[in-house]
Amino acid sequence: MIDIAVDRDKELRLAWDRIRTMVFDDNRRGEVSAAVGLSWVKVKALRRLLRKPMPMRELAAELVTDKPYVTQIVDALEQRGLVTRTVDAKDRRCRIVALTEAGRETALRSEEMLTRPPAALAELSERDLAELTRILAGIPAARGDGEPS
């Protein structure tokens, strides 16, 4: 019985190692940052703002960071003409951050790059790709919103 558990653990680790290697060797975050000339956290902020304009405190929560750092991020994005800050009509103490057209284009370009499958997947046969898709669909954590952090 112990051998079965050991074999399963080895198989799990091998599967995870191959997935991890495929994803991390791809270095998509670095590619996106270099292509748009922004740090990853700034790209992430733009991507979050694609959904909707939001108050600075909500953006801080989305980025899992503190408000002073979000202020620095938004300042830099605003200087590049990628976002605007306006006063919330309901609460004048609150600032709403929204994408400019240039910010939207940058965020969409980033999304396109991030959602492009790794080259290793393109090498799979149609049958293997269908099987992999079927298997991944059965993994509860793999059924997320598809958005990389």
Dihedral Cα 64, 68, 70, 74, nearest 10 deg: 180
The per-residue pLDDT for 149 is 58
Q: What is the pLDDT of residues 33-83, one digit of tens each?
A: 999 999 999 999 999 999 999 999 999 999 999 999 999 999 999 999 999
- The pTM of the full predicted model, rounded to 2 decimals, is 0.79
CA distance 26 to 29: 9
Confidence bin at 1 (pLDDT 50/70/90):
low
The per-residue pLDDT for 49 is 98
Of 12 and 5, which is predicted with more confidence? 12
Three-class SS of the chain:
CHHHHHHHHHHHHHHHHHHHHHHHHHCHHHHHHHHHCCCHHHHHHHHHHHHCCEEHHHHHHHHCCCHHHHHHHHHHHHHCCCEEEEECCCCCCCEEEEECHHHHHHHHHHHHHHHCCCHHHHCCCHHHHHHHHHHHHCCHHHHCCCCCC
CA-based angle 67:73:78, to the nearest 5?
Answer: 120
Confidence bin at 130 (pLDDT 50/70/90):
very high
The per-residue pLDDT for 52 is 96
The per-residue pLDDT for 126 is 94
